[in-house]
Amino acid sequence: MMTKPKRIFKFFPGLAFWGIVVLFFGLVYPYHVAFHEQYQLFLFSGQYFIELLSIPGGGADYIARFLTQFFLFPWLGAGIIASVLTLIQILFLRIIRLFTHSNSLVNTIVSFVPSIAIMAFLCDENAMLSLPIALLFALSASLTCMQIPKNTTRSICGVLLFPVLFWIAGSASIIFVALLLLHEILLNQYKFSIPKWIAVFSVFVLYVYAVLLASQLLVSYPLSRVLNGINYYRYPDFMPFIKNVALLLFVSISFLTILIHRVIKKEQMIWASIVLFLLVFGGGTGLIISKVDTAKEEAFAYNYMARMHQWNAIIQKAEKNPPVSSLASTCVNLALAKTGQLGNHMFQFPQYDKLESLLPKYQRDMMTPLFAGEVYYHLGMVNTAHRLAVEAMESIPDYQKSARCYKRIAEVSIINGNYKTARKYLNVLEETLFYRKWAKRAETLLFNDESVNKHPEFGSLRKNRIDEDFFFNADEQDIILALLLKKNSTNRVAFEYLMAYKLLERDITGFIKFFSLGDGISYFSIPVHFQEALTVLWSSQNKPLNEIPWEIDTRISNNMKAFIAEYNSVTDKKLLADKFGDTYWYYLLCEKDNK
């Protein structure tokens, strides 16, 4: 009878692994988790279910997409990923024990290897949860068949189950065949001669190929795509090498474990366990670290927080660790503008690629339009935000729809009064789990202009939007920002973006030309960076600062005098960064364009 300490130790490795995976995806990679949810639209409808089941691997993909919708909450997503990987480890451990007829620690240690490889695969933001779910199906089916005592019944079960499993789980089910074949070899190794085993193996290979060919004839996908797995990776024509390694590990680790138990003596198993633990732990840690991309995680973090309107969180994150990309800077600048701080604190943070930090140019990918779309939406250029949402959704490589984009299109349609279009998208969102309540609330606004005008977000954006035709020129967005101010002179976000646009261009003349457009905005005092630009303009005309016609803070005037004195006295202008790195003067005269 197993004692309580032994029972606890039995479950400890799996629980420890689960905890490590949760902490990794919850603390180190949370926004890679949330990244997935915005690029799918899981619907609770029969048509959606049938559509997915009509392709090989559709069953696993349906379950994966159902679980992925919970990735909207990163910690919940981390728990789901950890649970799936731990279940794979548990099932594989039970299979290894069937192979070795042993409960040794060696089995437990090596059973984590495939799960670690799959964890590394999932560190790629385009790796889908469909693969680990498919592996759960394959391992469960393998374990079920292996436990059938009669040879004939077991063989018939394997032959009949594989086509069904292949259609449900996809090409990952090939490990079902490989593990069953290995199991049969171990059970009947003394009954068959080598030629017979070669014949059996050949029959298995031909059978697998026949199933693959038959499935390929039923769907409009090339055989190579079916073999790789239709829904295992977001990009259809590419599959990371780590995916195939992970599949091979199930068979190779099984062989290795059988070999260890046959070669190493029982009294030497403890040393084998120690060596294997160090190899698995060290190698696994190194593999995961090599897959971590901190720059992408930062961009995903800012993207998520901007989507959730967590403006203060964005600023706090940037204060702690300055952004390292123009897309991250885009979100920081938007957060500053939404909290009324862009004119005061913009140059405290890096401004990469000049204007790209304010208004990213369109790129044909699924990420950049989402960043740019948030900016245009909050500026009041809702039609541009609508276009970018469509562009982002159409750029998704695996042709899924996007719940986030559907929501944005519905929002813009309500703002523009296109209520029939809005209803079409709201009806779809009502078939989701986490957008249903929002869609129900938004539906009450349809065909009710008075309610839309009173809405705290939609009403303000309807007031700010440009409702006249104009030519959108990505190289002259200052003109578009000026049009926004012409439509609504109290649009503070648009005014601060226009001023920031001219400052980043180092166009002081253009800055002063548009500066008067801010007369309709109530400022307690002129923002700091605007004051710094005004002092530059005034000084360039060789006029004393005490005669400047604008209300300039005395500290800024004195700070500029100190900057000019030190600027003229040092050769290496970078030495001024400690004192003046957060000023417009430093950006204007000392800082080269960040690339």
Given 237, 260, 292, the domain boundary residue is 292
Query: What is the pLDDT, as a whole number, of residue 102?
Result: 86
Q: Is pLDDT at 533 greater than 50 in this prediction?
A: yes
Residues contacting 583, CB < 8 A, separation 6+: 347, 529, 532, 559, 563
Say whether pLDDT at 5 is over 70.
no
Q: What is the pLDDT of the chain when averaged over all its residues? A: 89
- Domain stops at, among 238, 257, 292: 292
* Residues 464/488, Cβ–Cβ less than 8 Å: yes
Q: Same domain, yes or no, for 284 and 326?
A: no
Same domain, 315 and 288: no
Of the three residues 276, 292, 308, the one that is the final residue of a domain is 292
- Among 38-52, 197-211, 550-564, the minimum mean pLDDT is found in 197-211
**Is residue 267 situated within a structural domain?**
yes
Distance of CA 485 to the CA centre of its chain: 35
Note whether residue 336 is domain-resident: yes
Q: What is the pLDDT of residue 539?
A: 82
Confidence of residue 594 (pLDDT cuts 50, 70, 90): very low
pLDDT band at 53 (very low <50, low <70, confident <90, very high): very high
Overall average pLDDT of the 565-574 stretch: 85
* 260 shares its domain with 365: no
What does the pLDDT look like over 431-478, one tens digit per residue?
A: 999 999 999 999 999 999 999 999 999 999 999 998 777 666 667 788
- Whether 212 shows a pLDDT value over 80: the answer reads no
| Rounded-to-10 torsion of CA 470, 472, 477, 478 | -20
Q: Are residues 286 and 172 in the same domain?
A: yes
Residue 331 banded pLDDT, cuts 50, 70, 90: very high
Indicate whether 85 and 145 sit together in one domain. Answer: yes
CA distance 376 to 384: 7
Structural domain includes residue 8? no
- Local confidence band at 228 (pLDDT 50, 70, 90 cut-offs): confident
Same domain flag for 137 and 102:
yes
Which of 38-52, 68-82, 573-587 shows the lowest per-residue confidence on average (mean pLDDT)? 573-587
286 and 347 part of one domain: no
Residues 78 and 110 in one domain: yes
For residues 534 and 446, state if they share a domain.
no
Residue ranges making up the domain that contains 268: 19-292
The verdict on 282 and 307 lying in the same domain is no
Q: Is residue 474 part of a domain?
A: no
Give domain status of residue 497, yes or no: no
CA 111 to chain centre: 29
Same domain, yes or no: 320 and 353: yes
* Residues 419, 565 within the same domain: no
**Lowest model confidence (mean pLDDT) among 372-381, 463-472, 532-541, 578-587:** 463-472
pLDDT at 22 over 50: yes
Longest dimension (CA), the chain: 105
Q: Is residue 411 part of a domain?
A: yes
What angle (nearest 5°) sits at the alpha carbon of residue 394, between those of residues 404 and 239? 100
Among 43, 219, 186, residue whose Cα is nearest residue 102: 186
Q: Identify whether 503 is part of a domain.
A: no
Q: Side-chain half-sphere of 102: how many Cα atoms within 13 Å? A: 16
Taking CA atoms, 531 is separated from 11, 330, 502, 539, in Å, by: 64, 23, 14, 12
Per-residue pLDDT at 349 exceeds 90: yes
Residue 194's pLDDT band, with cuts at 50, 70 and 90, is low
CATH of the domain at 348: 1.25.40
pLDDT in tens, 157-167: 888 898 899 89
- From 518, 517, 410, select the one nearest 457 (Cα to Cα): 410
Q: Tell me, yes or no, whether 331 lies in a domain.
A: yes
Distance CA 307, CA 313 (A): 12
Give the chain's domain count: 3
- What pLDDT, on a 0 to 100 scale, did the predictor assign at position 517? 86
